Structure 1
Amino acid sequence: MIYVGLTGWGDHPDVYSPGSKQKDKLVDYSAHFPIVELDSSFYAVQPERNISKWIRETPDNFQFVVKAYQGMTGHQRGENPFATREEMFEAYRLSVRPLKEAGKLAMVLLQFPPWFDCQKDHVDEIRAIISELQEFDLAIEFRHQSWYADGMKEKTLEFLREHGLIHSVCDEPQAGDGSIPLVPESSRKDKVLLRLHGRNVHGWLNPGNAEKWREVRYLYDYNSKELEEISRAVKRLEQQAEQVYVIFNNNSGGHAAGDAKQFQQLNGLHFEGLSPKQLDLFEGGF
């Protein structure tokens, strides 16, 4: 089964009902897609009230791919609000657990930074993190090319298999060490994740200042030929894993929703159990 969704639900105007308010955006979103990547959990461990609200607002079979908190994966910007490492992990576990209990947690995504290269200390760090989060299905996304270099790709995939980790496959600009190639290989038989970051090489290498980097880094609109290429990779993944989660993250210019819909049409995908609101908004649009 192939599932398609976007990163977040707050920046996709094409999927909102006319006059929709901020509080209604997830309801509108879930009328179009069966999964979403929750990225607010990267910036702050989410309070229980937020998680409970999102569970209530989505259909029974809706799934969340939840990003790990930045302090857990070496991205920390500013001061860590937690006094200890254990306090941080315990807060995160308590935050995510209700999604799992509701049957709405697809996986937790551990995305490591571009400087997190393939070396023993970093492998040990992954082991330490997964020991803290072992109650969840965990996906691993690398951003340093060394994990997929000659002689290392198979070792990386074997490490993921050995520890029961989900491979986060990426389509992204090929821009040196701080990017990884598209490697459509699943490390588990049940789940695999594909994240589509666009192919804006210039923006990837030159994101500008910290406040504007998302506006440039993920500015990309996939064309039909590229979506066909991605479709072939997805079909290969579908042969290896029962569930393929496809997340479009190319939303700097608002292209993610349209590209995701084109991808669905290209692959004849139809999802059951969506929210009933505005189901025909995209019909005839592509």
Structure 2
Amino acid sequence: MITIGLTGWGDHPMLYSDVTSAQDKLFDYSGHFPIVEVDTSFYAIPNNRHVEKWCSETPHNFQFVLKAYQGMTGHQRDDLPYETRNDMFNAFIECAQCFQKHGKLAVVLVQFPPWFDCTAKNVQYMRYVKQQLVHLPIAVEFRNQTWYAKDMKHKTLQFLRENAFIHTVCDEPQAGAGSVPLVPIATADKALLRIHGRNIHGWRNAGNAQNWRKVRFLYDYNEEELQGLAAHIRALQQQAKDVYVLFNNNSGGHAAMNAKRLQELLSIEFEGLAPKQMNMFEGEF
């Protein structure tokens, strides 16, 4: 089954009516898409009260992709707000299990940073992460090309298969060592495709810490590009039971429209969505 959604639910004004308050955006979002990425968990692990609220205000079949906390992936190099590494992982596991309890956890996304290259030390750390999150479905996203080098690509994919890691396929600018090629190969019964845009200038020159996200993910996919993505998704569908697709080109408001058009190209109708106050996309295509 192919499921399409966006990264986060708060930055997509086209999905919401004029009267929608911030606290109602997830409900409105779930009237358009059946899955969303929780990207706030990268910055701070949500408490169970928030998770319970998110689960209660979405349809019963709605799914969440829970992004791993930055301290777990090596992004945060400062002192962690936990006494031990085990405390950090246990807090995240508790959060993930709260989603699981409601049957709403699609996968845990473990996105490693651009400096996480293909070395024996990093392979060992991935084994450690697997050991810590042993009962959770883990999708691994690389941001360093060495994992897909000519002599390593097969070994990387085989390692993911042998350790029951879900391969995160990425569509992003090809801008050197800190980006990865699109490799539409599944390594488990689930596959995750994250679509970041193709703004190569913004990827290389993202600006300062305050506006880098707005610059990097500013991109609007054209019809030909979306048709190409649809072909890759159909290929993944032949390899995995479930294919999750997430658009991350949010900064210019293009993600929702691109996702809707891709849904049309794949002839998908989502069932069990939340009721919408109004169809914001009626007559757009």
Both proteins in one fold, TM over 0.5: yes
After TM superposition, the score normalised by the length of structure 2 is: 0.98
What does residue 157 of structure 2 align with? 157
Question: Residue 5 of structure 1 aligns to which amino acid in structure 2?
Answer: G
Provide the secondary structure at the position in 1 that maps to 2:238.
Answer: helix
Query: How far apart in 2 are the matches of 1:221 and 1:13?
Result: 16
1:196 aligned onto 2:211 = no
Give TM-score scaled by structure 1 length. Answer: 0.98
Give percent identity, aligned residues only.
59
Q: Could you tell me whether the CA contact under 8 Å between 1:32 and 1:279 is conserved in 2?
A: no
The count of corresponding residues between Structure 1 and Structure 2 is: 285
Equivalent in the alignment of 2:259: 260
Using the alignment, how far apart are the partners of 2:272 and 2:113 within structure 1?
36
Write the distance in 1 (CA, Å) between the matches of 2:278 and 2:96. 29
Q: Look up the equivalent residue of 2:280 and give its one-letter code.
A: L
How far residue 279 of structure 1 moved from its aligned partner, in angstroms, is 6.0
Shift in Å at residue 252 of structure 1?
Answer: 1.1
* 1:129-278 equivalences in 2 (<5 Å): 129-188=129-188, 190-278=189-277
Give the CA deviation at 1:280: 2.5
Q: Specify the alignment match of 1:128 in structure 2.
A: 128
**Using the alignment, how far apart are the partners of 2:17 and 2:2 within structure 1?**
26
RMSD of the alignment, in Å? Answer: 0.9
Q: Distance in 2 between matches of 1:117 and 1:140?
A: 13
Mapped partners of 2:81, 2:119: distance in 1: 28
CA deviation profile, 1:142-183 (whole Å, cap 9, x unmatched):
000000000111100000000011000000000011000000
Q: Following superposition of structure 1 onto structure 2, how do residues 40-55 of structure 1 map, counting pairs within 5 Å?
A: 40-55=40-55
* Aligned 8 A contact 1:171 1:196 in 2: yes
Aligned mates of 2:95, 2:105 — CA distance in 1? 12
How far off its partner does 1:83 sit? 1.1
Q: Give unpaired runs (5+ residues) of structure 1.
A: none
Q: Where do 5+ consecutive residues of structure 2 fail to align? A: none
Question: Cα deviations across residues 172-209 of structure 1 (Å, max 9, x unaligned)?
Answer: 00001100000000001x21000000000011111111
User: How far apart, CA to CA, are the structure 1 residues paired with 2:277 and 2:115?
Assistant: 43
Where do 4+ consecutive residues of structure 1 move more than 3 Å? none
Q: Which residue of 2 aligns with 1:62?
A: 62
